[in-house]
Every structure is written in structure tokens, then in C-alpha cells.
Structure 1
Amino acid sequence: MDLAAPPSSRLALYLDLIRWNRPAGWLLLLWPTLAALWLAAGGFPGWHLLAVFTLGTILMRSAGCCVNDVADREFDRHVKRTAQRPVTRGALSVREALAVGAVLALLAFGLVLTTNAATIAWSFAALAVALIYPYAKRHVAMPQAVLGVAFSFGIPMAFAAVRGEVPLLAWGLLLGNLFWVLAYDTEYAMVDRDDDLRIGIQTSAITLGRFDVVGVMAFYAVHLLSWGWMGLSQGLGAVYLAGLAVAGGQAVWHFGLIRARSRDGCFRAFRANHWLGFAVFAGVALSYAV
């Protein structure tokens, strides 16, 4: 690693480390978090909470990338898609990557400190789950379930920030959202299945085997049906159902992309998932707006 590299080169490496040019990752976290904010507040939650959770989501996803790349650097060398990540190829040291991640996490925590005691307390649980995930694939047959909890933890935190407590509804939404994460991260795992089998990593795509496509579609169905039921229980109506219908149409489109199990098709489906999440969020927000 060239420590004497010009600042512009190091900045480019840091941006690559946190996937700055690939916003789909933080959008996958953002839409269910914002939907939870609207549901918790019964409408627009205010500019302060909107800014805290939007910026916090971006910062924590970026910090998570730093930890993930450090944890997976030995595996990533053997995967076509990840072999050129900065830590994996030695352009950034482990210490430097962790330092960047720590700074980003501290900035996110600074935002949390502007909320309330309940949100601050739950932020520690969210951090713990985020740190556990990169190591889950070594020991858990479907590590995507652990990722599902990590990527859904903005939901109870949103309720805590608005109401000062986390009701049963928030945990139900988290569970339903976990199935969406299982759907899109299984699509992601299908891209790397050959490499993962060779190096011994466990993923949902490997665990499901020939039922991977069926599993993905079942995960989408559970997510949309559960969120539909919980949204209706909160008084959301036709506009919300229209948003879910748009999301469901996208899930059907994804079936066409992944059924042949090609790398390109599965990766395209994964990258498009943030639009499915946006459709659900739009249904929530517009329901309250009208």
C-alpha cells in the first residue's frame, strides 16, 4: 500500500471502500426505515427525524461496508465480483479501513444523540447485529437472515424516535422486512454461488439449492402480504395497496430475471430491489398525504 499516495487517490479509495457509486445498498435500508417513520408518526415525521434517519442510514451502511470488507478480505480474493475491493487487493490496510468505518459510525451516533434515550439505547443493539453479520456466513446456513435483522433495525429505531418506545407493530414490520432482505440477498448470493461453493462460504442460495427461485418468490410474497396486512391494520387504504401492487409487479419481473439463474440476471434483479422498496414507502407516504 502506498501511504504517500496523493489525497485525491486516497479519497477515491475511501469512496470505493464505502461503495459511494453504488447507492442501491443504502436505499435498501432507507425505504423501510422511512416507511416505519411515517407509520410511527401517522404521517410526515418532521424534518429533524427525516434528516437523522436518512443521513444515519447512509453513514451506517458505509461503515458496514468497511467492516464487511475487512472480515471477508481472504474470501473476496477468490470471488470474481469482489477481488478488486480496496482492502482485498491491498490498496487500503485493515487498520485504515476500520478507522474509516469507526469515524462514520461515530458520526451516525452523533445524529442518534439528537433524538431520545430509547433510540440511543436501541442503536447499540443495531450496531451489535451489524458487526455480527460479516461473520455469520462462516457458521449460519442462511446468513441472509442475520443481514435481514441488521438491515431492518431502522424500523424499531424509527418507532423509538417518534414514540419513545417500540410497539409490537414495529417488530412485526421488522419480521416482514426480513423476508424482503432474504429475497434480494438470495438473488445477490445466486450471483456468487459457484465461487462461494468453491471457498466454503454458506449462503441462502446454496442452502436452498434447486429451490432458490421458489424461495425468493416466497420471500417476496411473505414480505408484501405481511406489510399489506399490517398497513391495513393501521388504516392505510387503496393508495397503499396500489403501492404494494406496484411492488408485487416488480417481484414478478424479478422472477423473469432470475429463473435462468444467470449471473447478469440475478445481479440485475438484486440491484433493482430499491425500486420495490420505494414503491412500498411511496404507498405509505401517499396514503397519509391524501
Structure 2
Amino acid sequence: MTDSAPSTPDTAPNNWVDHTPKTIRPYLRLMRADRPIGTWLLLIPCLWGLALAAAAGHEGSNLFWYPLLFAVGAYVMRGAGCAYNDIVDRDFDAKVARTALRPIPSGQISVKKAWAFLAFLCLVGLAVLLQFNGFTVLLGLGSLVLVAGYPFMKRITYWPQAWLGLTFNWGALVGFAAAAGTLAPEAFAIYAAGVFWTLFYDTIYAHQDTEDDALIGVKSTALRLGAATPNWLVGFAGLTLLGFAVSGIFINAHPFYYVALFPAAAHFIWQIKTLDIHDSHNCLRLFKSNRDTGLLLLFAPICERIIHLL
């Protein structure tokens, strides 16, 4: 297959990557540059942690510079994670309609070149991480254990989304540590909230592939929960909001902190009410809407910080 192969089915047609030089296009697709939702879902927990630390009174000296660093870091490390996942899952991806056109299974990029590109992305990510304090650097490096294990979880458990939650929300701890230089109970509470948030959105996402996954032997919460998924989503959403509430308790938040969680709660309700697990387009649309969910949740610690400044 040529470098001009079409994007995967869940990518917006005629996106900016389709207009880049053919030599770099497969690499941009490998790192999902044409699908920014993954970067948002990795970045937002970092912003949660940073905002929560500020709300708790930690006056990190670079609170305006750090969000930019996290944005760059999330972009390249999400790309690195996608490249690693595609290297490990290349045989499975070739058997699933939604992933068969990805650069490695479609033959656009060799496995050797994919590893080289992965190494380059990791070096960029390391350069970003080294801009933070020593504790944050060590904490960030600790996430690599979770990243390395994730692609194998779908082979051994019906709950790979839980492992993804532990991985994708590690940034909540990193963001808090970047501003505070340490960790505190409120950071772990918001990290737990992120894990349940990932269980929420990635279970919806996994319902796109249930038939293919069942045929090739890949496990997911979508297969495990089946028709009961909406009821479980209620629980995942509730526990996400509870994690934020507990974080508020730990920092002795103003009552408005809790009021600020209501828009996110309403967005969760909308998703659950409109979900059709048998409609892949509906599942993809709702999955992508979780960028808005994450930003609405960010509203609570930001409001708390503003109240402190008044």
C-alpha cells in the first residue's frame, strides 16, 4: 500500500494530515495527528492536577508556562503511545475493519521505522519532562511501566480500560507534582476520578469493535458489560464526580467548587441518555464529546482558584 493510503474510518475525511507531504503522512497517522481527541484526553488530567494544586494554595512559579509544556508533552507522548500500541497490536489491527488501514498493518511503515519514530517521540517527551522539578521527572518516568503494559491487557482481562485509566490519567499526579513539588491526598482522589472517567469514555469507544473483538479474541469492558453498559456508565460517571468532590473536601473547597461540577454531571447524563451501543457512529461521537466532559470538570478547581484570588 502506498503512502497516500486513506485515513482510517474513524478519522475525519479531508483533514489536515491528508494535505501533508506523502513522506511524513504515514508517521502523522501513526501518532494519530489526524485524531486530536486522544491528545485532549491525555492533556486534560494534567490540567486538573495543575489547577487542583493551585486551588490548594501551591504557588508554582510557572503555572502559566506549565500548561504549554503539558500540551506539547501530551501531543508527543500520546503519539508515542499510539505508535507503541500499533507495533504490539499490528496482527490484531490487520483483522479489524476500523484499524486495518493503520500505517503498520497496511504496510505504509515498517516495524523497524515505527520503532525509530517511537524513540524520537520519546526523546522529545523526555526533553519536555526535564523542564519540571526532580520529583515530577521521576514521577513522569514511572508512567512508562503502565504504558508498556497496556497493549497486553486486552489479551488477559476484560478490563483493559481500567489499565488505560491508570495510564492516561497519570498526568493528574504529574500536574499536581509540577506545581506542588509533592503529592497529597487530593491529587490521588482526582487521579481516581480520572480512572473512572476513562472507564466511562473508553467503554463507549470499545462498543465500536465488539463483533471484531469477539472474533479475534480481544477482550474489553464493552464485551464484558454488553447490554448492561448504560447502568455501569452511571456508576463510572458517579464515581468520577465523587472523586472530584473528595478532592474538594481535602482542600476545604468553597461550596461553589461543588456547584461547578453540575455542568459536567449534566453532560454525563446527556451521554448516557443518547448512547446507542449498537451504533458505531453514535459511540464515536459520544466518545469524542468527552473532551468537553474533561474541560467541564476542570471548571471546578479553576473556580476554586479564582475564589482564592478574590
Q: How much has 1:94 moved relative to structure 2? A: 1.0
Whether 1:20 aligns to 2:33 is: yes
Whether 1:9 aligns to 2:22 is: yes
**2:34 aligned partner, one-letter code:** N
Counterpart for residue 32 of structure 1: 45
Whether 1:85 aligns to 2:85 is: no
User: The residue matched to 1:47 in structure 2 has which SS?
Assistant: coil
Distance 1:175 1:260, change over 3 A: closer
Query: What is the root-mean-square deviation of aligned Cα atoms in Å?
Result: 1.9
Whether 1:107 aligns to 2:124 is: yes
**1:113 aligned partner, one-letter code:** L
Report 1:248-267 matches (<5 A). Answer: 248-259=265-276, 261-267=278-284
Taking the aligned partners of 2:2 and 2:286, their CA distance within structure 1 comes to 37
Q: How much has 1:159 moved relative to structure 2? A: 2.2
Q: How much has 1:210 moved relative to structure 2? A: 2.6
- 167-176 vs 9-18, which deviates more? 167-176
**1:156 aligned partner, one-letter code:** L
Q: How much has 1:245 moved relative to structure 2? A: 1.1
The partner residue of 2:291 within 274, 278, 281 is 274
Say if 2:172 and 2:187, in contact at 8 Å, map to a contact too. Answer: yes
Counterpart for residue 246 of structure 1: 263
Say if 2:90 and 2:105, in contact at 8 Å, map to a contact too. Answer: yes
Distance 1:252 1:10, change over 3 A: same
Q: How much has 1:256 moved relative to structure 2? A: 2.5
Say if 2:260 and 2:303, in contact at 8 Å, map to a contact too. Answer: no
The partner residue of 1:222 within 239, 245, 250 is 239
Distance 1:95 1:82, change over 3 A: same
CA offsets 1:69-102 (integer angstroms, 9 cap, x no match): 1111111112121111111101011111121121
| Structure with a larger share of its residues in helix | 1
**2:39 aligned partner, one-letter code:** W
Taking the aligned partners of 2:158 and 2:147, their CA distance within structure 1 comes to 18
Q: How much has 1:240 moved relative to structure 2? A: 3.1
Report 1:169-248 matches (<5 A). Answer: 169-248=186-265
Say if 1:123 and 1:157, in contact at 8 Å, map to a contact too. Answer: yes
User: The residue matched to 2:107 in structure 1 has which SS?
Assistant: coil
Q: Name segments (4+ residues, structure 1) moved above 4 Å.
A: none
The partner residue of 1:165 within 182, 188, 191 is 182
User: The residue matched to 1:127 in structure 2 has which SS?
Assistant: helix
Say if 2:135 and 2:177, in contact at 8 Å, map to a contact too. Answer: yes
Taking the aligned partners of 2:254 and 2:136, their CA distance within structure 1 comes to 29
CA offsets 1:137-178 (integer angstroms, 9 cap, x no match): 111220111100000111111222222222222222211210
CA offsets 1:207-241 (integer angstroms, 9 cap, x no match): 12332221122101110122123224424335433
**2:181 aligned partner, one-letter code:** G
Say if 1:257 and 1:266, in contact at 8 Å, map to a contact too. Answer: no
Distance 1:239 1:19, change over 3 A: farther
Say if 1:240 and 1:280, in contact at 8 Å, map to a contact too. Answer: no
Taking the aligned partners of 1:209 and 1:165, their CA distance within structure 2 comes to 41
Identical-pair percentage:
33
Taking the aligned partners of 2:248 and 2:119, their CA distance within structure 1 comes to 36
Give the gaps of 5 or more residues in structure 1: none
Q: How much has 1:2 moved relative to structure 2? A: 6.7
Counterpart for residue 150 of structure 2: 133
User: The residue matched to 1:65 in structure 2 has which SS?
Assistant: helix
**1:18 aligned partner, one-letter code:** M
Give the gaps of 5 or more residues in structure 2: 4-19
User: The residue matched to 2:95 in structure 1 has which SS?
Assistant: coil
Taking the aligned partners of 1:144 and 1:85, their CA distance within structure 2 comes to 21
Counterpart for residue 64 of structure 1: 81
